[in-house]
Amino acid sequence: MSDVMGQCLCGAVRFRLSGELRNVVICHCGQCRKWHGHVGAYTRVPISALRIEDERSLSWFRSSEKARRGFCRDCGSSLFWERIGSDQMSVAAGTLDEPTGLSTRLQIFAEDAGDYYEIDDRIPVRAPGATGT
């Protein structure tokens, strides 16, 4: 796979992903729903495959003891989710330039889904309690 470019809504944070991208996982947890305004949809790459080309407005928020989230402090776009100490970075799929070549393959924390939508039963659901985007 060739490099995939991504950026925030205003373009102040731009990045490049190299190599194989994991297919998209949709996260229904309460934190992702609040962070994204709906569900979180993430691909993932080794941190070594992420090159941030313009980070003048990139900020990080420690969302739990286990993870932090990267966002643009100018436009508010949510961009990254990183488990502290991991060598992997989850990247919000909606920030990527098309074509991505990705498809949605899994849903997690479906038991925490909001009461305003239905789970898409065409996409497999990981068992309750399993973690990680």
Domain boundaries, the chain: 4-112
Residue 109 corresponds to which amino acid? F
Which of 114, 27, 14 lies closest to 70, judged by CA? 14
DSSP class of residue 1?
A: -
User: In sequence order, which residues have a C-beta less than 8 Å from that of residue 115 and are 6 or more positions away?
Assistant: none
Q: For the domain made up of 4-112, give the CATH fold.
A: 2.170.150
The answer to whether the beta carbons of residues 49 and 130 sit under 8 Å apart is: no
- pLDDT tens sequence for the chain (133 residues): 579 999 999 999 999 999 999 999 999 999 999 999 999 999 999 999 999 999 899 999 999 999 999 999 999 999 999 999 999 999 999 999 999 999 999 999 999 999 999 999 999 998 875 556 6
Give this prediction's pTM. Answer: 0.91
β partners of residue 115: none
